Structure 1
Amino acid sequence: MTRDLPQRLLTTLVYVFLFMPIIMVVVMSLNASRYSVFPVPEWSFVWYEKALEDETIGAALKNSLVIALVSAVLATIIGTTVSIALVRFRFRFQNLVRSAFMSPLIFPEMILAVMLLILSASLNLQGGFWIVVAGHVLVGLPFVITVVSARLHGFDSSLEEAAQDLGANEWATFRRITMPLALPGIIGGGLLAFTTSFDNFIITYLVAGSDVVTIPIKIYSMIRLEFSPKLHAFSTAIVFMTLCLLFLYRMVLRRQASY
C-alpha cells in the first residue's frame, strides 16, 4: 500500500494537470463578470443565455451537427462494408488494403488536410461542404473499422454457416444473423466517427473555405476577434455534448460485451 502511494500521487497530479484547464473553463462559464477572474465574484448563467441568443453560434452548431451526421453515416456504411470484407474473406493484398484504410491514424492530421486541400484545388472545388465531409469520413473510417472488426471477430461465425445450411442465402444471413450481432459495434463505431467529425478543427479549417463555419472554427474566431465569456459557456456545452457521446459509446460497449 505504501509503495503504491507515490504512483497514485503522480497519477493524480497528471490527471489534475490534464483536466484543470477544462474545469476552469466550466467555472468561468458561470462567472457573471465580463472578465475571467478567479475567485468568481458572482455566479450566473447569463453567458449561456447570451450564447443561445447568438445566431452565429447557432449556425455553427447546425453546420457541425449536419457535417458530423453525414460523415458518421458514410464512414459507418463504408467502414462496416470494409470490415466484413476484411474479416470474412481472404484475398490478395488484404493486409495492404487494411493498412490503407487504417493509415489516417498514422499520418499527422495536418498532412491529410494539406492533401485534401491540394485535391480540392486540383478539382476546382474551392473547399466547401462535401470536401469537409470527405476529410471527416477519412479520419473516421479507422475507428469504425477497428470497432466493427473487433465485433465481427467476437461472435461465432458458425452461426452464419448454420443459417446457410438451413437454406438462407447470403443476404438473408447478413440481414438476420450478421447485422444484429454486429449492430453494437456498428453503433459504437458510428458514435466515434460522429465525435471525431464534430470536434475536428485542422481539416475543417484548411478545406472548408469561407462558407462553412463549424463549432471549432467559430471558437477559434471568437478567441482571435471577440474574446467573450460566451466562449466559456459555448465551450462548456461542447465538452458536455462530447462527454455524453462518449458515455453513450461506453454503454454500447458494455452491451456488446454482455452478448
Structure 2
Amino acid sequence: MRAEGSGKEGRWAWRLTGLMTVLVYVFMFAPIIATVVLSFNASMFGGFPMTGFSLQWYAKLLDNEQVLAAFRTSLWIALITAVVTTAVGVVTAFALTRFEFPGKKTLSTLVILPALVPETILGVGLLVLIKAVDQPRTLLLLVLGHILLAVPYVVLIAQARMVGIRRVYEEAALSLGASRFSTFREVTLPLLIPAVVAGALLAFTISFDNTSASLFWRPAGVETMPTQILSMLKISISPEINALGTVMIVVTVGIPLIGGLILQSLTRLKRRGEPKEKT
C-alpha cells in the first residue's frame, strides 16, 4: 500500500512539474510569438484577429533612417566587441589555465566579476564614475563597456575548453624546440577553435542585444537597436515596432543557432582528424 501510494504521489509530482514547466514556457515565449505574428499584420492597429498578411512594416523599417543608423551602430559595436573580447578572453583563459603566477586568483575573480554584478548596477556605477572624473560619454566608452560585460563569458568558455585539451600536445611541441608562442599558435589555438567561435558569437549577441548598459553609457544622439526600440515605444506601439523586434529576435536567436551548427561541424572534423589511440 505504501509503495502504491508513493507511486501515485510520484506521478502527480511529475505531472505538476510538467504542467509548471509548460506554463513557464508559455509565459516566456507567448509574447515573442505574438510579436512575430503581429509584425505581419496588415492593419496598423496591432491585435487579434489579424486583418491580413503584409510585409509593409518591414519595408517601412528599410525606409527609416533612424532604425538603419541604430542597426549600423549596434552592428559595428558588436563586431568590435566580439573581436576584442575573443582575443582578450582566449589569452586570459590560457594564462589562467596553463600558468601559475602571483595574484592568479585575484585576476580570475576580477575577470568574472562583471558577470556576477547586475548590469543595471554596473551601468549606474560606471556612469557615476565617469561623471565624477568629468569624462563625457563617448562611443569608445560604450564599446569598452560592452567588452567589459562580454569578457567573463568568453573566458569561461575558453577555460572549459582549455581544461579538456591535453598538455601532452603542447609539451611535445616544446620538446621539439618550438617556442611558447609558436606552440600556442600551431597547437593550442587550432584545438581552441570551437571555443573561439562560441565565445565570439556569444560576445556579439551580448553586445548587440544589450539594453541596460547602453542606456547609461551611450553618448547623446546615439541609438543602438535596443535603445531605438525603447524610444519608439515612448511614442506608440505599432506593427513597425513588432517588425523591428522580430529582426532583433532573428539576429539574437539565429546567430547562436548558426554557431552551434558550426561548432558541431568543427567538432566532427576534429574527431575525424585525430588519430585513434591504441588500446
1:138 and 2:142 are equivalent in the alignment: no
> What residue identity is the alignment partner of 1:142?
P
Q: What are the superposed Cα offsets for residues 40-99 of structure 1, whole Å, 9 maximum, x if unpaired?
A: 121111111111111110000000001111111111111111101100101122111111
Q: What are the superposed Cα offsets for residues 142-198 of structure 1, whole Å, 9 maximum, x if unpaired?
A: 110011111111111110000111121112111110110111101111111110000
Match of 1:201 in 2: 211
Match of 1:44 in 2: 54
Match of 1:119 in 2: 129
Written as runs of structure 1 = structure 2, the 5 A alignment for 1:160-239 is 160-239=170-249
CA RMSD of aligned residues (A): 1.7
TM-aligned CA deviation for residue 256 of structure 1: 5.9
Tell me the matched-pair count: 259
- When residues 45 and 24 of structure 1 are mapped into structure 2, their CA distance, relative to the original with a 3 A threshold, is same
Q: How many Å separate the matches in 1 of 2:239 and 2:135? A: 36
- With normalisation by structure 1, the TM-score equals 0.94
> What residue identity is the alignment partner of 1:194?
F
- When residues 105 and 256 of structure 1 are mapped into structure 2, their CA distance, relative to the original with a 3 A threshold, is farther
- When residues 171 and 95 of structure 1 are mapped into structure 2, their CA distance, relative to the original with a 3 A threshold, is same
Structure 1 unmatched runs, 5+: none
Structure 2 unmatched runs, 5+: 1-6, 272-279
Secondary structure at 2:89's aligned position in 1? Answer: helix
Secondary structure at 1:125's aligned position in 2? Answer: coil
Q: How many Å separate the matches in 1 of 2:187 and 2:237? A: 54
Q: How many Å separate the matches in 2 of 1:173 and 1:92? A: 24
> What residue identity is the alignment partner of 1:215?
M
Q: Please tell me whether the aligned partners of residues 128 and 212 of structure 1 are also in contact (alpha carbons under 8 angstroms).
A: no
Q: How many Å separate the matches in 2 of 1:167 and 1:255? A: 32
Sequence identity, in percent? 37
Q: Please tell me whether the aligned partners of residues 120 and 131 of structure 1 are also in contact (alpha carbons under 8 angstroms).
A: no
1:246 and 2:236 are equivalent in the alignment: no
Q: How many Å separate the matches in 2 of 1:257 and 1:125? A: 46
TM-aligned CA deviation for residue 123 of structure 1: 4.5
Q: How many Å separate the matches in 1 of 2:261 and 2:156? A: 17
Written as runs of structure 1 = structure 2, the 5 A alignment for 1:89-128 is 89-128=99-138
Q: How many Å separate the matches in 2 of 1:217 and 1:248? A: 26
> What residue identity is the alignment partner of 1:9?
L
TM-aligned CA deviation for residue 209 of structure 1: 2.1
- Decide which of 150, 157, 180 is 2:160's aligned counterpart: 150
Q: Please tell me whether the aligned partners of residues 197 and 263 of structure 2 are also in contact (alpha carbons under 8 angstroms).
A: no
Q: How many Å separate the matches in 1 of 2:212 and 2:70? A: 16
Q: Please tell me whether the aligned partners of residues 124 and 216 of structure 2 are also in contact (alpha carbons under 8 angstroms).
A: yes
Q: How many Å separate the matches in 2 of 1:99 and 1:255? A: 33
Q: How many Å separate the matches in 1 of 2:259 and 2:63? A: 31
The structure whose Rg is larger is 2
Match of 2:276 in 1: none
- With normalisation by structure 2, the TM-score equals 0.88
